[in-house]
Amino acid sequence: MLLVRSHHLLLHHHAARLSPRLHRLLLRHRSPPPPPPLPRAAAAGRLRPPRMSSSSASSSNASSPAPSPPPPVVPKSKIRFCPSCGSPTKLAIPDGDEKMRAVCSSCGRVHYENPKMVVGCLVEHDNKVLLCRRKIEPAYGLCPNQGGINRTLPAGYLEVGESAAEGASRETLEEACADVEILSPFAQLDIPLIGQSYIIFRARLKAPNFSPGPESLECALFALDDIPFDSLAFSSIIVTLRMYLEDVKSGNIKFHYCTINKRIGTGASDLRSFDIDNHLTDQRL
């Protein structure tokens, strides 16, 4: 560096004695000036070490700090206005709580959003099960992905003032015009991502009569080997019927509990993007 700088000083010293044209030529052949310094943010970005994959991280020093986990997803409340006074709500953590709630910006009331309870019947008749083809949303009519017909067990939301068994019988009467006798609870399935909890009861027809109700396009009995799994409407129904088939084949009907964890970003018509966790059974002898 000392030699280069002295060379430049000599050039400036002799350039004063040279003609203007030769002076310009000498300056043109000098080394280009260094680039301007980067802003702090850009420099930090260039100096940041590259991310390591899981395979390369295992071979690195064990004392290196682990990457910080992604920030938790903050839920968005569907309660935008206070049901009590009509004022807008805001998301806040109330005193003594640990979760974000919809809090009225005027009267201060805290509004809680709780899961919906869905109840239905797995109707058995002559070693067959009753399935309905949906006439209303969600999953109305045709299944766009599989090209088949969306079928489901008769089920729907539990109403205030009725028990789970009463609601399941009512939904079966509404969707399949079938009068049934509840035999026993068969499965409880929780789907946390969409805030739903299913209770499915085993039931039998009091009389071999059924027909499509106002919410169904058609109803039919299916032999267990002929259940159209590729055209079922909901992941909860797929899981329920798979458990039922396994129990029938083993000769032991059990009560089942499990959690269906839908994968984030899953569409309504994507029925295979889920995992079953916490599967518990109560064996009946």
What is the per-residue pLDDT for 103?
94
Residue 118 · residue 157 · CB < 8 Å: yes
- Domain over 77-113 is classified CATH 2.40.30.10: no
- Look up the pTM and report it: 0.68
Where is average pLDDT lowest: 51-55, 111-115, 162-166, 244-248? 51-55
Residues of the chain with CATH 2.20.70.10: 77-113
Whether 192 has a pLDDT exceeding 50, the answer reads: yes
Among 21-25, 91-95, 172-176, name the most confident range.
172-176
Peptide bond before residue 37 is cis, with ω within 30 degrees of 0: no
What does the pLDDT average to over 59-67?
Answer: 47
Amino acid at 128: K
What does the pLDDT average to over 182-196?
Answer: 94
What is the per-residue pLDDT for 197?
97
What does the pLDDT average to over 81-101?
Answer: 92
Reduced to 3 states (helix: H, G, I; strand: E, B; else coil), residue 265 is coil
Whether 25 has a pLDDT exceeding 50, the answer reads: no
Residues of the chain with CATH 3.90.79.10: 116-281
Local confidence band at 137 (pLDDT 50, 70, 90 cut-offs): low
* Both tokens assigned to 235: 């992941």
122 strand-pairing partners: 202
Whether 154 has a pLDDT exceeding 90, the answer reads: yes
Backbone angles phi, psi at 120, to 5 degrees: -165, 180
Would you tell me which CATH number, out of the four given (3.90.79.10, 3.30.930.10, 3.40.50.300, 2.40.10.120), belongs to the domain 116-281? 3.90.79.10
What is the per-residue pLDDT for 193?
86
Residue 128 · residue 153 · CB < 8 Å: no
* Both tokens assigned to 159: 């109403």
